[in-house]
Amino acid sequence: MDKSEYLNFAKNILKINFKDINLLMTAFTHRSFLNEHRNTVKVHNERLEFLGDAVLELVVTEFLYTNYNHPEGVLTNLRSSLVRTESLIESAQTLNIEPLLLLSKGEKSGNLRARQQIMANCFEAIIGAIYLDQGYDEAKTFIDKYIITKLGQILKDGNWLDPKSKLQEVVQREEAITPSYKVIEEQGPDHDKSFKVGVFLKDHQIGVGSGTSKHIAQQNAAKSALSKYSSKNIELT
């Protein structure tokens, strides 16, 4: 662990002069790293992640409340689209934080999705570290720059709608038809059941999805249909 790397990251990437650089280093420290460095490292980033998640949600909520006079349900969907894992991963990649992550050898060689989740968690931990070291205003500035700036594109693309709502909006606008969902298959015992669901326009199946609940399977089916619809690979009539 070379402190100079984190000092450079703070100064050149975050544009912040940390009072306690150890806070930022902790933000990059995954639980697995402690297992291989018990004698030198005592703290991992999960508490900072917990704090950063709360600060992120507060800043985004405050921004949406102040700038958009929408009902609670719409504001909730907009907030969810901004703070979802994929958004955090994208921001973490923009900051190029992966080379600085402190991980065990096993986690370093893990699958891509696992590393992306670790990056998303680290991004929230960085917010927590900025909040503790610099205060709310500096954390807000960071969140404004790397999260809230995504809102314009989200509104343009309609990505704040969940897949079922988005599919219904698109299909009703283009075809004047309402999609319907049917369970195609159920597997497993009651305590560990999985579902396969199809989404249909009249009798024509336009998407299929699976999940551990009917709701999740429906959302995945809608996502599948949206993907095909946007690429013009299906006929809806």
User: Looking at the annotation, which residues are catalytic?
Assistant: 53, 124
The alpha-helical segments, DSSP class H, found in 84-213 are: 85-95, 105-108, 112-134, 136-146, 151-157, 163-175
- Which of these, 61, 234, 32, lies nearest to 122 by C-alpha position? 32
**Whole-number Cα distances in Å, 185 to 78, 181, 188, 209:** 33, 12, 10, 11
Q: Which residues contact 228 (CB under 8 A, 6 or more apart)?
A: 206, 207, 234
Contact 209, 221 (CB under 8 A): yes
> Using alpha carbons only, how large is the chain's radius of gyration in Å?
21
C-alpha to C-alpha distance for 163 and 177, rounded to whole angstroms: 16
- Which of these, 50, 71, 227, 19, lies nearest to 121 by C-alpha position? 50
Q: Which residues contact 150 (CB under 8 A, 6 or more apart)?
A: 82, 87, 90
Backbone angles phi, psi at 184, to 5 degrees: -90, -35
Backbone angles phi, psi at 115, to 5 degrees: -65, -35
